[in-house]
Structure 1
């Protein structure tokens, strides 16, 4: 323990340093973390990193998925649910099938079941890598929403394929009828379990006398509990965490106060950053162990690299083909939902969407979760080769696609034609003007009698009418503070109603709600 702790503390320090360097270089930090982990692994005397396959999913997946569900715009998910659903389920299955067929044909002794297992591992694109890259380039809001929604759901579908692949390899048989029934239970049952537990947690937060620190502590436990309960019932823990997280996210204004929301935002942002950093460092640190396994199995390194490059090519091609198929289906069956732009732009959009398929933490976690031995105590076939192919896929997609994607986006000036949504600055200005008018009318209507001759309330009115701040806070007595807090709550209600407008970017609404939370907390210390 005393020798391991400094190593993990050093990992956190390296993650922070590499992230700062990535920001300076304006590249996605997962790229530097993977390369950094790979270089660190070659330092003499470095301890070999070994992760328990039975714990890898449970440690990393629940909090990462839960935070992603809280961050995503559910409004945008509903708007683009068809294409998100097709990419999260149909495209993942098509990709896994393509990998299974190619691997079965080109890799000696590789069965279809092993191919599906490998396909389930490498099929889901990584949300963290894509999100990190999007910080440095501007893309249409619709494209960003599709990528975010897809990344939230495709983990569930790919891991279900992974689980079926494990069963097929272990038992040597695959019954389609049983698989279909099991698939429905895993998806629908997992979603139902997540919704039920999400409702229970919301009620617990509302009814228990919690404070900010205990509220945030409970949110740390909740995704793990959702995942564990669903897995115990042989359903999908991933679907449980995603559905429960979305349910709770939509009700955050109801069961969490301003202090809990502010503290939770900061804590979860740091926690998830460290978790993601550890996962991407592990990708690099695990390579020596994987290479040693290849040598034990008698597989030449060059041959294994060739298999990894082949599978990477299949993944990229399958995603691009799927993107064009989705666009074609939209133009045929729902032409009104297609973007209103030129034919050249429509032709290049699927290419861009297809090039965003970087792989990352979920693929590594799935590969590491393959058991070393099967139930009959025989070594799991081709485990080390699957791990190595997964590593090559992650490394190539991060380096090739991750480094070139920002360049392609900047060079493809056609994206300017896609940004037809209302300018964010003008939207934000209109929202703030609406808030000002709303508060002013609320004060005039509800506190008309109190306004006369009361310096504090008159100053509140003047603040909202002219957007000016008083020189000191001595005027803020308990009565005026109560009215001020009530006005803040009224603003939240106004913004919640405003968010129903499909033209409004939900991210702008959330930013303003965060500002209101900060203002309420400032009032508490006056």
Structure 2
């Protein structure tokens, strides 16, 4: 690749990511699917050289922000209340899947167990990004969504720790399950403590800095501070990063200032979107390099390994999810607290086995050399991983919303959402009533009576809207929201006209624009929460 092409690689990738994301929005196809297919198409553009990546560079640059942002976005309360189901999937199902893949490849294909376990560890964790994108506008019960999101946090850690053990076994030629189990427990405990410490230090540092820009930079550095030291000391780094994110999610509400939150939402949304999109795009771009590598190795063998792996990861997940759902509930104490769900719920959870970003990052991080020799069947493992991602993403991902509707989960989710909306309105009402009660106590002090009355009218209007005023944004109508957006646009045009006539300074224009921007963002958020908030 020439220096000129390398110089333009980053802006060209950014343009491709932006264009493909627009295509996904216009076509209403999940962005990960469009990015994957777009990357595959770009890879075969005439004159496009094969894209090769440095394995460790991918691991340490792309993975930490993905894990951390997932942890921050996770509900700690929901995670804790569904811990049994999450751990059975995130630890049990991952190890079961990795072992099944390794065993079948050993007995059917003659692949060494350690090499097979490397592939099994890579493809064992379902991806969070693709299902979340597909289900963003689909009303499924909150518990189902929480279990899938929680699983995706911990299963990455389990899979990557198992992956590191398997790579070590390939290097040494020996694998000791008891030692690996003890090492995993040690990594789990030590990285949990370290992740909590990093989360605590990061939040305190951000709070005491008292500067939104500094706080955002500290937030961006946090996933790497959690990941890199643990990774370099022989751990995974994944558990520490996830725990740091969960710590910030639970404790940040008291320590992160409103202005920082406003900036952080937009910046983290951009970072997470860019990193996840880059990973899917990079996955698609690998197809040409993989094809070139397979030419000299044997397509029949590679396709057989890929097909066997694809079938295994799908079947094994069903074989695990149903017993893991119902067997613990045979214990009376558990059954009383948590009755067995209808079969539709575990069926949907078992179906949500889409592989994606983490699997490809792990595959790309397979070392080129081990013990002074090329890593055994590295190209085959990359090809099989790519095949599993494509098969599950294109064969399962687009139909998850339809499956949720066929199983009746969307009806259950819609009823649950109505209850959540009622709770939200109740809490909003309590907040406004508390404000009005406080305004009654400040009458007669230094504030002018007219100012007090104006504030009372303003919050009284909010209360009227919340109680069902005709201009409220509720679950039955979005017209009020769109009307507010139209009114904001009218105000923008008026301000712009006055500015063009030189009757408004630049500073004043920017202040008004910022207020209108915040108001528009609030309305957009309210409209979006009608259809998909959870």
TM > 0.5 = yes
> How many residues end up aligned between the 2 structures?
465
Cα distance change of structure 1 residues 101 and 243 upon mapping to structure 2, 3 Å threshold: same
Map 1:274-353 onto structure 2 (within 5 A): 274-296=274-296, 298-299=297-298, 301-333=299-331, 334-338=334-338, 346-353=342-349
Q: Which runs of 5+ in 2 are unaligned?
A: 465-490, 492-524
Partners of 1:337 and 1:193 lie apart in 2 by 33
Q: What TM-score, normalized to structure 2?
A: 0.82
Partners of 1:36 and 1:422 lie apart in 2 by 35
Q: Which runs of 5+ in 1 are unaligned?
A: 473-506, 513-526
The yes-or-no answer on 1:427 pairing with 2:432 is: no
Map 1:240-251 onto structure 2 (within 5 A): 240-251=240-251
The yes-or-no answer on 1:450 pairing with 2:448 is: no
Counterpart in 2 of 1:367? Answer: 363
> Does the CA-based 8 Å contact 1:113-1:168 persist in structure 2?
yes
Task: Render the CA deviation track for 1:127-170: whole Å, top value 9, x for unaligned.
Answer: 10010010232211110111111111110000011001001010
Tell me by how many angstroms 1:468 deviates.
8.2
Counterpart in 1 of 2:104? Answer: 102
Task: Render the CA deviation track for 1:275-321: whole Å, top value 9, x for unaligned.
Answer: 1111111111111212222223x22x244223212211111111112
Tell me by how many angstroms 1:8 deviates.
2.4
Counterpart in 1 of 2:521? Answer: none
Partners of 1:349 and 1:254 lie apart in 2 by 35
Cα distance change of structure 1 residues 432 and 286 upon mapping to structure 2, 3 Å threshold: same
Task: Render the CA deviation track for 1:49-95: whole Å, top value 9, x for unaligned.
Answer: 11111211100111111111111111111111110111111111111
Tell me by how many angstroms 1:336 deviates.
3.1
CA RMSD, Structure 1 to Structure 2 (Å): 2.4
Task: Render the CA deviation track for 1:165-184: whole Å, top value 9, x for unaligned.
Answer: 00101000112332222111
Counterpart in 2 of 1:463? Answer: 458
Counterpart in 2 of 1:178? Answer: 179
Tell me by how many angstroms 1:466 deviates.
3.2
Map 1:53-452 onto structure 2 (within 5 A): 53-108=55-110, 110-208=111-209, 210-296=210-296, 298-299=297-298, 301-333=299-331, 334-338=334-338, 346-375=342-371, 377-413=372-408, 415-417=410-412, 421=416, 423=418, 424-445=420-441, 447-450=442-445
Partners of 1:217 and 1:418 lie apart in 2 by 37
Partners of 2:178 and 2:406 lie apart in 1 by 49
> Does the CA-based 8 Å contact 1:121-1:158 persist in structure 2?
yes
Partners of 2:392 and 2:339 lie apart in 1 by 28
Q: What TM-score, normalized to structure 1?
A: 0.84
Tell me the SS of whatever aligns to 1:250.
Answer: helix
